[in-house]
Amino acid sequence: MMQSYISEIGRCAKAYCEHTARSLPTLPDTVVTLVEMGFNVDTLPVYAKRSQRMVITAPPVTNQPATPRALSAGQKRTHPSHIPSHFPEFPDPHTYIKTPTFREPVSDYQVVREKAASQRRDVERALTRFMAKTGETQSLFKDDVTAFPLIAARPTTIPYLSALLPSELELQTLEETDSSEQDDQTDSENATGNNISDDPGADKENSMLPPGGVAPAAKASEDNVIDNPYLRPVKKPKVRRKK
């Protein structure tokens, strides 16, 4: 009933306001509405000054949140002379101009060295932990094996054998050099064979060969001599014995 009564007061006050060609109701419009609805307006001051009245305080004023500023990149361009000033402004330059967003690489020697050292230390630490977790480990304490894991030292029967044997890298380089020398020898032999077969005077050379049909070793060694001194086989010096 109270809601309908208040709604009727507001509707009638709005109707009286519009009847007088206004858009906002005022106090006289409300008084006329109460009089028309049969309410005694003189009793309002007495009712407002009663001892058991309930005062509704005004809501606290809260500060409006500050509108965040838009991130501006660069300086906006002004309008040229042929564009009126009431037109909207140009957008930020980064919307239509290419701007690099990557950082310049650090070229300071000290920073680069510190970064390389830290990366190397992290790699060694990670590799040590991986080997400690996957392989056999030892510990400084007998009770707790997982606190300070150490890579187990495997004793060998001949400890100096690893220093005498060549490493895997040296073996690989030796295999590569041997294969390259063999390829060069086969190519040279094929080339000499083709030259002999194509030469019209091959019969004369064959007639000059010894009865065994084999060329002297000196001539074969001269054909296989490599012009590049870095690719020639190593010649060991002759040891002279003291008399």
**pLDDT, tens digit, for every residue of 203-220?**
444 444 444 444 444 444
Tell me the per-residue pLDDT of 47-70, one tens digit each, with 9 for 90 and over: 888 888 888 888 888 888 888 776
> Domain ends where: 32, 47, 62?
47
**Is 30 in a helix, a strand, or coil?**
helix
Instruction: For residues 139-144, give the mean pLDDT.
Output: 70
* Whether the predicted pLDDT of 93 surpasses 90: no
> Which amino acid is present at 144?
D
Residue 23: inside a domain, yes or no? Answer: yes
Range of 29's domain?
Answer: 2-47
Q: 200 or 130: which carries more pLDDT confidence?
A: 130
Q: pLDDT at position 197, please?
A: 47
Q: Check: CB of residue 116 under 8 Å from CB of residue 110.
A: no
Q: Tokens in use for 168?
A: 């895997």
**Is 179 in a helix, a strand, or coil?**
helix
Contacts of 91 (CB under 8 A, 6+ apart): 76
> Domain ends where: 138, 156, 174?
156
Cα-to-chain-centroid distance, residue 121:
20
CATH number for position 33: 1.10.20.10
> Domain ends where: 124, 156, 188?
156
CB < 8 Å & 24+ apart, contacts of 84-88: none
Domain count, the chain: 2
Mean pLDDT, the chain, integer:
76
Q: CA-to-CA distance for 87 and 83, rounded, in angstroms?
A: 7
Residue 195: inside a domain, yes or no? Answer: no
Q: pLDDT at position 147, please?
A: 65
Residue 125: inside a domain, yes or no? Answer: yes
Cα-to-chain-centroid distance, residue 16:
72
Among candidates 17, 60, 10, 61, which has minimal Cα distance to 37? Answer: 10
Predicted model pTM: 0.25
